[in-house]
Amino acid sequence: MLTIIDDPAHITLQCHGVWTLPNLAAVAQNLELFKPLKPLRWDISQITELDSAGIALLQLYYRNFENQGVVSELVGTNGTHTKLYSLLYKHPHQDAPPVKIHSWLHNLGREGYENIQGVGKFLAFLGEAFVLLLYTLRYPGKIRYHSIMVHIYTTGITALPIIGISAFLIGVVIAFQSLVQLQKFGADIFIVDTIGISLTRELAPLITAIVVAGRSGSAFTAQIGAMKMTQEIDAMRTMGFDPFIFLVWPRVFALILVMPLLIFFADLIGIFGGMVVAKAQANLSFNEFLYRLKGALAIKHYVIGIVKGPFFAFLIAMASTYRGFQISLNTESIGHYTTVSVVNSIFLVIACDALFSVLLTELKL
Amino acid sequence: MSSQPIIQVQDVVTAFGDTIVHDHINCTIHEHEIYALLGGSGSGKSTLLREMILLQRPQSGTITVLGQNIATLSPEEAQNLRQKWGVLFQSGALFSSLTVGQNIELLYREYTDLPANLINELVKLKIDIVGLPAHARYLYPSQLSGGMVKRAALARALALDPKLLFLDEPTSGLDPFSARQFDTLIYQLRDLLGLTVVMVTHDLDTIHHIVDRFALLGEAKVVAEGSLEEVLAINHPLIEYFFQTTVQTSHQKEIHGIQS
Ligand SMILES: Nc1ncnc2c1ncn2[C@@H]1O[C@H](COP(=O)(O)OP(=O)(O)OP(=O)(O)O)[C@@H](O)[C@H]1O
Ligand SMILES: [Mg+2]
């Protein structure tokens, strides 16, 4: 491939054989380490096959050595070499300056600034959504009833199994843990109060919201993102189909309608989970449990749990559709924004729940 | 031009559900030739190309590429074969999370042990020969125009100096001048690097200027195969339609009729 002949006057780089991409690694590594101290002679007359990688290698190291101040000459070129060279190196060699890499301080500052801006952008998004909502309310014919139905089905009906299982397990876990403590005082019967209140007021809404955020929120983001990547959203806009009316509000409405129902479902299954454990561990029959529940569970706890539903739904649907619109034209951003959307949704749900707690406590509810 | 077959398609049948796209078709592509697949929209050109590059299997028939029957390849053989060709997809198919430079670099990093300096030189070289400006290597695919995407995708297809190049509509979406430049580039690369080029094209100029032989697909068959003169000598409505020998005049009459 490459023989280095050290003559007194100069060094000859005798190139021979097949100079194509698969065979060049050794030669390139040799030349990478080679430090010529005498004038160089590249003899390429014995190269039998040359491709663009071979030409690039010759050109690169010839140029490098010359830049190091070594006098170089090229001998043994033939017509094919010259033609290939002039095809591949039509333009004089030039380096484009690489894009600047910023310091971490710059990145930190920009990140912070963008996050603050993000809040503003989200508010702008909500604002635009509400303006278009008022507009559609004036023309009820524009409401996408069919689309709402489809989303009710996919976010509601198909979510029942996973929400059922999660709620049942939460009921079981709470019942087990509370019974251990309650039995110490012989207060087994209070398991009913514990289950009834904690589930309907706090746990069922939260669990439901978390499952919905993970399941439907991520789907919303990915769907809208994919539509953005294929320019479907641009196409919709040009045809006068506003994405807020066609994509955002149907999802938001569907989720707002579905969430209280899902929470109700989770209430039932969760309490049932508690009943099963109470029967197995504390010998409390289903009848007794239900009788006690009637007295212990004030209706307000149940209502508060259900009322949280639409609020959680609104936050999840808005955050995830908003993130969907932020997806840019590369595949990685789908993954990124889907993750961000789920994290945001769950955070917003928990923050909203905390707000509810404070408010309701102040209101003595 | 030597005439050893590089790709041989024999009796290939392809169907999607009930629609038959290829009904026992045959064609032969020789070494060092620029071969085109021609045909109307939906005539199965891209599908045939996909079958040649192992992305899809025909229902029956055999395809031989570089002397190997591609239906019976072991995974290693398939992998080796894939390194011998470069593919330019109809929509570019650049990796959108990588810059143009990284799209090309990826292949060198995966398949060669070249030092970083030389990889860098090669990336610059490929970007330059397809006619992209030097700073394009730092751009992401979403920042390129349609024509630039085509060029970047060609640069990636040429990265490993393949002997066989598959191009799906290389000149569509380019301005006429760039399209001719593209043609010239492919022609010169074929001559100097000894490539064999298989392309899907609708561009009659490309057919006239650089294509050696082509197959015209229509009605699920190969209607004609050969050089331009050979095909034009055949009398078939599809050939007339494609090369506008009679259609053009009647079309002009129609237009004049509307005007008057
Ligand atoms: N995955 C698929 N499933 C079902 N049908 C398909 C599929 N891919 C292609 N087809 C059908 O096969 C036929 C041939 O498609 P193909 O993409 O090969 O056309 P083409 O000749 O490349 O057209 P164009 O010039 O528009 O690119 C079309 O009728 C198309 O509808
Ligand atoms: Mg096609």
What pLDDT digit, counting tens, does each position of A47-56 carry?
888 888 888 8
Which of B134, B138, B140 is closest, CB to CB, to A330? B140
pLDDT at residue A39, rounded to an integer: 86
Q: Provide mean pLDDT across the span A201-226.
A: 95
Banded model confidence at residue B40, pLDDT cuts 50, 70, 90: confident
| Residue list, ligand 1 pocket, CB within 6 Å | B 16, 19, 21, 39, 41-47
Same domain, B103 and B154: yes
Residue A347 Cα distances to A210, A251, A304, A343, angstroms:
10, 20, 20, 6
Q: Does B141 touch chain A (CB under 8 A)?
A: yes
Residues 6 or more apart in contact with residue A340 via CB below 8 angstroms: A323
> Would you say residue B252 has pLDDT above 60?
no
Other CB atoms within 10 Å distance of the CB of residue A153: 13
Q: How many domains does chain B have?
A: 2
* Domain stops at, among B136, B161, B186: B161
pLDDT at residue B1, rounded to an integer: 46
Q: Does B97 touch chain A (CB under 8 A)?
A: yes
> Would you say residue B132 has pLDDT above 60?
yes
Domain coordinates of chain A in residue numbers? 2-88, 118-362
Same domain, B157 and B173: no
Cα of B100 from ligand 2 centre, angstroms: 24
pTM over 0.80, yes/no: no
Same domain, B108 and B173: no
Same domain, B192 and B150: no
Q: Which atom of ligand 1 is nearest to the CA of B44?
A: 18
Round to whole Å and give the CA distance between A230 and A9: 64
pLDDT one-digit tens code per residue, A57-101: 888 888 888 888 888 888 888 888 888 888 888 877 777 777 788
Distance from CA of B34 to the nearest CA of A (A): 18
Same domain, B79 and B169: yes
Give bridge partners of residue A17 from the DSSP assignment.
Answer: A47
pLDDT one-digit tens code per residue, A97-156: 777 888 999 999 999 999 899 899 999 999 999 998 888 888 887 788 889 999 999 999
Same domain, B216 and B234: yes
Same domain, B41 and B168: yes
State the CATH class of domain A2-88: alpha beta
Q: Provide mean pLDDT across the span A148-167.
A: 95
Which of B114, B124, B133 is closest, CB to CB, to A25? B114
- Report CB contact under 8 Å: B122, A95: no
* Domain stops at, among B100, B128, B161: B161
Same domain, B148 and B213: no
pLDDT at residue B245, rounded to an integer: 55
Same domain, B153 and B170: no
Inter-residue contact B63 to B73 (CB < 8 Å): no
> Would you say residue B258 has pLDDT above 70?
no
Inter-residue contact A148 to A136 (CB < 8 Å): no
pLDDT one-digit tens code per residue, A15-31: 888 888 888 888 888 88
Name residue, tokens 């569509």.
B172
Same domain, B152 and B166: no
- Residues of chain A positioned with their CB less than 8 A from the CB of B160: 21
Helix axes A286-296, A191-198, angle to 10 degrees: 60
Same domain, B122 and B248: no
* Domain stops at, among B161, B186, B220: B161
Same domain, B73 and B178: yes
Domain that holds residue B61: 5-84+162-259
* Residue A363 DSSP class: T
